Structure 1
Amino acid sequence: MEAQTKFSVFIKDFEATLKQSFHVKDDIDQLSLERGLPPEILAKIMSKNPLSVAIPAEYGGRGSHVKECLELLSVASYESLSLSLIFGINIALFLEPISKYADPSVKADIFNRFLKNQNMGGLMITEPDFGSDALNMETFSTESKDSYKVKGSKHWQGLTGMADYWLIAARKKMDNGNLSRDMDFYIADNTKEKQQIKVEEIYDNAGLFMIPYGLNNLDIEIPKSQRLIPETTGIKMMLDILHRSRLQFAGMGAGFIRRMLDEATEYCKSRIVGTSNLLALDQIQYQLSRIQAAFTISSAMCVRSVEISGLENNLATNGLEANSMKTVVTDLMHESAQILTQVSGANGYRISHIGGRGIMDSRPFQIFEGSNEMLYSQISDMIIRSMKKKKVSNIFEFLKSQDLTAEASDYFKKNLNFDISSNLSQRKMVNLGRIIARVISVGYVLNMQGKGFRKDLVDNCIVMVQQEIAGLFSAFHFDNSVKVIEDYSSNSSWLKFV
């Protein structure tokens, strides 16, 4: 109880600092339109040591408790999705990997600089020619007596030119000139001359204006002590890092969706049309109920993430849950922003409006760390391979036998009760992945209800997901194999036919 009280004081103070910075001293709507965050605003926020939640207690931090990390992300995303992502990058893609995999000799200095000097860190995996195809990256390392030399190009890293530290993924160059199939991660300290990364270009990203993205050129020398130490292989270490990050999307999503819900509800209560407010309209009730269902699902995901994503767990094999959580919550984030914009009418069609801005800020969440379409396809592939292994062809029968979906699958038996082919087209794999991920999400909601979460929100959420899954199954069973007609211009001008 004492620790919880201390955190409640910490998070309330942090929340008050955000309100003071964004609503009293400055206007968050205007700040969100500027590139970067004014240094004095960032300094004020960072003076509260928000990143201490992801630093082990023995190094002066709050102990790397998932609950605290997710609540910090949620509080930040309620005010600013960009700010929350800045924290998410630092927590899941730098500090947690350092805590788990860095050589003990380098941890103290890194954590001290985060706590005392408000340093920041990011992760470099993506390359210009290899986006999601990380295993074929061309950034390479060569080993000498006391160090590793790392050369290559990386891009679309959040905090480009802003971070003090970087975790860099590279493949070892072998004696024959080929690159290893495995990969290593190295810590680059941008304050050291030989480790400085050259920023070639800052990108004009369409959303998330507070966060700089760009193209980076690497030609650096890293001391051997600054290589991460994998438990088994570098690829499994990368999966552990990325899966833990995807499971923490729930925190960012929960705060953002709650803000969309609060804004939409308040506007529809106050907006009078004829003799009543917008909230009296049936279609508005439906639309806001969609956001409310998203709020319930994202809350349940936070509960599940706390249960499984602690540093003591290796998440390399947790792809099904990591992919399901990341895809569904980011879809819900974007849909919630779309709904708020729609119900706000002309007011929503302003980049300074939180709904209109939220559309652009939430959209890249469906793309980075694996595009949702790719991850949905992977979900289907995991399920189908597991069904084959167990010699089960009926999708309901299989999901009913799995802990994650046993209870939830009963709510969708009408749609799920069919035999599945192992030879599905990619578009059907994506659709099936959407369905399975939502069944898993309802499982999270039911788990949360079992802990005492209010039943009326759960009941409404399940009805909403049932309707969505019914539509997804209709699309899944529809025979559509249409291909793009590449040379479509011949005999296709409408002017010829009038």
Structure 2
Amino acid sequence: MLNVLQPQIISPDFDVFIKSFRERLSDLFNHTYDYNNLSLDRGLPDHFLSEIMDMKPLSVAIPECYGGRGVLVKECLSVLSAASYESLSLSLIFGINIALFLEPFAKYGDSSLKPAVFHRFLEEKAMGGLMITEKAYGSDALNMRTSYEQYGSGYQIKGQKHWQGLTGAADFWLVTARKKNAQGELARDIDFFLTDNNLPEQKIDVERYYNNLGLYAIPYGINNIDIEVPQEHRLQPESTGIKLMLDTLHRSRLQFPGMGMGFIKRLLDETLTHCKNRQVSGLRLHEIDAVKQQLSRIQAAFTICSAMCSYSTSVSSISADLSGNGIDANSVKALVTDLMQESAQISLQLAGANGYRLDHIAGRSVVDSRPFQIFEGSNEMLYSQVAEAVTKLMRKSKEQNLLAFLNVYHLTQHASPYFKKALDLNLSDQIKQRDLVTLGKVIARVICFQFVLQIGNNGFNPQLVSITQDHVSMDIAMLIGQLASNNQAAPQMEYEENSDWTNFTAI
């Protein structure tokens, strides 16, 4: 059992805290260590990471009664944004710790364990992560094979997990497993267990590390689990373990905009500066019409991400039950990560040849942001789930017209009139999966534009709101065109017959 220690109080004004944090990060990444030129190294140097953690960034995700800042969503997202302005990898490290360990542990963990665990985060620079994904099942978490059996006053857990961020580097893990009965069958529900890698009986062994394509600062790999934990290490769900998992994942997805915010702003700042200084045929790059469109798309992404952060702040506190927030959480995660990748691609294109370097912000951003569209649910799957959930609600209300439904649905009722011409279509009862993905992209954009309208009503830059409306309107029109095309194309698995072009030339 972990020792109970007295909390160390942290109480600076947050505006002072975050300003100091941003300035120190900028100095560390751009001057003290010149991290851009170290970007091919795996992991962050220990002394470098130690200096970052000296600022206690994870205090934002620790309750006040244990010495933290209180788990306020606005503060958590601000720390993620400040980090991602300098390094998307660092922001993801914080995101893993905040959304996938500290918040669920604060909400569901045994109170007897919290003082010592939170003390180690605040005073010993500990880190934590979440283990769900398995090699054979991926997003099919409900069929995971990691299992546990109860013995005496504890549990024995066995299995294998992979692609966990901070593999081999985290001090604590939340490990998911299914209960094994006397017949060797696994229960349908899922349980979560706290593990402490400092204790031999709880240590999770790394079989091997992956040579990941990007996000070099974060180790990933295969983890073999054969551990024993005390009874109090099992998290206590309010109802079922599946709802605990959905609550955790939906809260995490709603906090993705924190990581996207600083990342997109950095790309916007760097790209605007480049386009102001770069001349082509006597014109500055930003004066060329096609470039204007590209720059304005990054500004639209910046605006949508800002609105998402505002929305997440209002709904995703740990006191809220987010297990039923699949539509908004999946819309936010899928769209913001698509916007992150698109912004990086635009920045790289406008940077020209110089951008195609791993030590250039644009080149590195393309590679680092790409997996965000895959992990925590691939975007195609999430868009499909958004469309399935909305069409299910439409059937329940006996409504076939998309516009008519969105006009009364609480997440879209203020935004849908802006796109009424495009959205005025009847949906069939049987929609192909490929069309569900496209429909989900449409619905996600309407939902997130409503967030834009909300911050616009609160005084957010009206020019940016107008730019965003233009781009969202264009995107929705294009996606509706995709739906109308009724594309039936399917791959020819045995395609080699009559497919060698050299047999079809005149000479």
Q: Does TM, scored on the shorter chain, surpass 0.5?
A: yes
CA contact (8 A) 2:39 2:358 kept: no
Q: Structure 1 residues 20-29 or 313-322, which shifts more? A: 20-29
Tell me the amino acid that sits aligned with residue 263 of structure 2: F
In 2, Cα distance between equivalents of 1:109 and 1:365: 32
In 1, Cα distance between equivalents of 2:75 and 2:228: 35
1:276 to 266, 283, 295: 283
CA contact (8 A) 2:129 2:173 kept: yes
User: Does 1:109 pair with 2:116?
Assistant: yes
Q: Structure 1 residues 18-27 or 211-220, which shifts more? A: 18-27
Give the match for residue 329 of structure 1: 336
* Secondary structure in 1 matching 2:55: coil
* Secondary structure in 2 matching 1:411: helix
In 1, Cα distance between equivalents of 2:216 and 2:37: 11
In 1, Cα distance between equivalents of 2:12 and 2:417: 40
1:177 to 168, 174, 184: 184
Q: Structure 1 residues 83-92 or 470-479, which shifts more? A: 470-479
- Alpha-carbon deviation of 1:34? 1.2
User: Does 1:165 pair with 2:148?
Assistant: no
- Alpha-carbon deviation of 1:349? 1.1
- Alpha-carbon deviation of 1:32? 2.4
Tell me the amino acid that sits aligned with residue 251 of structure 1: G
Give the match for residue 140 of structure 2: 133
* Secondary structure in 2 matching 1:169: strand
Matches within 5 A, 1:50-449: 50-449=57-456
* Count of matched residue positions in the alignment of Structure 1 and Structure 2: 496
In 1, Cα distance between equivalents of 2:113 and 2:504: 73
In 2, Cα distance between equivalents of 1:155 and 1:394: 43
* Secondary structure in 2 matching 1:104: coil
* Secondary structure in 2 matching 1:22: helix
In 2, Cα distance between equivalents of 1:435 and 1:155: 33
In 2, Cα distance between equivalents of 1:82 and 1:306: 22
Tell me the amino acid that sits aligned with residue 320 of structure 1: I
Unmatched segments (≥5 aa) in structure 2: 1-9
- Alpha-carbon deviation of 1:491? 1.1
* Secondary structure in 2 matching 1:148: strand
CA contact (8 A) 2:131 2:175 kept: yes
Give the match for residue 458 of structure 2: 451
* Secondary structure in 1 matching 2:42: coil
Q: Deviations over 1:423-462 (max 9, x none)?
A: 0110000000000000001000001111111211101100
| Runs of 4+ in structure 1 over 6 Å off | none
Tell me the amino acid that sits aligned with residue 438 of structure 2: N
- Alpha-carbon deviation of 1:19? 1.4
In 2, Cα distance between equivalents of 1:201 and 1:497: 49
- Alpha-carbon deviation of 1:276? 2.2
In 2, Cα distance between equivalents of 1:94 and 1:4: 22
User: Does 1:491 pair with 2:498?
Assistant: yes
- Alpha-carbon deviation of 1:28? 2.3
1:11 to 18, 31, 36: 18
Tell me the amino acid that sits aligned with residue 110 of structure 1: V
Tell me the amino acid that sits aligned with residue 233 of structure 1: T
CA contact (8 A) 2:209 2:222 kept: yes
Tell me the amino acid that sits aligned with residue 458 of structure 2: K
TM (normalized to structure 1)? 0.99
- Alpha-carbon deviation of 1:4? 11
* Secondary structure in 2 matching 1:105: coil
In 2, Cα distance between equivalents of 1:4 and 1:41: 25
In 2, Cα distance between equivalents of 1:180 and 1:87: 32
In 2, Cα distance between equivalents of 1:340 and 1:58: 44
| Identity, % of aligned positions | 54
2:55 to 48, 53, 69: 48
Tell me the amino acid that sits aligned with residue 91 of structure 1: I
In 2, Cα distance between equivalents of 1:132 and 1:361: 21
In 2, Cα distance between equivalents of 1:144 and 1:187: 17
In 1, Cα distance between equivalents of 2:187 and 2:38: 45
- Alpha-carbon deviation of 1:12? 1.3
CA contact (8 A) 2:89 2:218 kept: yes
* Secondary structure in 2 matching 1:211: coil
Q: Deviations over 1:273-292 (max 9, x none)?
A: 12221011001100000000
CA contact (8 A) 2:172 2:196 kept: yes
Q: Structure 1 residues 412-421 or 227-236, which shifts more? A: 412-421
1:22 to 17, 25, 29: 29
In 1, Cα distance between equivalents of 2:29 and 2:334: 30
In 2, Cα distance between equivalents of 1:135 and 1:319: 16
TM (normalized to structure 2)? 0.97
CA RMSD of aligned residues (A): 1.0
CA contact (8 A) 2:81 2:263 kept: yes
Unmatched segments (≥5 aa) in structure 1: none
CA contact (8 A) 1:31 1:37 kept: no
* Secondary structure in 2 matching 1:205: coil
